[in-house]
Amino acid sequence: MRDETLEVENLHLWRGERHVLRGVHFAMTRGTCLEVTGANGSGKTSLLRTLCGLIYPEEGRVLWNGADVRADLPAFHAALAYLGHEPPLKAELTTRENLHYWIGVRRRIDAAAMDAALARVGAGPWCERLVRTLSAGQRRRAALAGLALLLVPLWVLDEPTTNLDAEGQQLVGSLIGEQLARGGMVIAAVHHHLPASVPAITRLELPS
């Protein structure tokens, strides 16, 4: 069995005149979690988007299993799940429909797996409601159900606990814990620390 590794080498990113990322580097192996912190505007989201290959850095590279991800971006993307600030949900579809289309584009899912994921995040009672009628916290939970369904080795999460109540934040902690226990990796950009239940956290603070 192959061990996945993620290495970030000397990442430099400029946004206009701003030098946002100044030589960021770190390495991760399976079962580990990296918590990225920093003040507003310190480049947390830019770092995550650069990692995912959505933004091209001016300097530096991201290595997945030792190979530059740019050599085969689709293969790298197939191994990662990215959850940004806004849950990628359509307001005019129900939670179940949203997951069917969003996750279905990437992998085949059966009804039992869908039901289990919805139940896992507490979405059972409202999964047939249109997303526009849901609260921000419920929408975040729906996105977490999608994350759980993707079954990929690398999770890249931007403020995963935003809009969630205390129970929801614990849910994020336990989902991350399960991902790590399966041998996956998690990178999360946060304003407030991840729940204490998350094991094997290393921290990276971006300078202002």
The contact set with other proteins (CB under 8 A) reads: 1-4, 30, 52-56, 74-75, 77-80, 82, 84, 86-93, 97, 100-102, 104-108, 150-153, 179, 182-184
The smaller minimum CB distance to other proteins, of residues 69 and 206, is found at: 69
Least distance to other proteins from the beta carbon of 205, Å? 25
The smaller minimum CB distance to other proteins, of residues 91 and 136, is found at: 91
Least distance to other proteins from the beta carbon of 105, Å? 4
Least distance to other proteins from the beta carbon of 51, Å? 11
The smaller minimum CB distance to other proteins, of residues 116 and 205, is found at: 116
The smaller minimum CB distance to other proteins, of residues 3 and 208, is found at: 3
Least distance to other proteins from the beta carbon of 69, Å? 12
- The contacts found for 199-204 with CB under 8 angstroms, 24 or more apart, are 199/33, 200/31, 200/32, 200/33, 201/33, 201/34, 201/35, 202/26, 202/28, 202/32, 202/33, 202/34, 202/35, 203/34, 203/35, 203/36, 203/37, 204/24, 204/26, 204/34, 204/35, 204/36, 204/37
CA neighbor of 142 nearest in space, from 132, 152, 151: 132
Least distance to other proteins from the beta carbon of 186, Å? 10
The smaller minimum CB distance to other proteins, of residues 27 and 193, is found at: 27
Distance CA 42, CA 185 (A): 23
Distance CA 45, CA 83 (A): 11
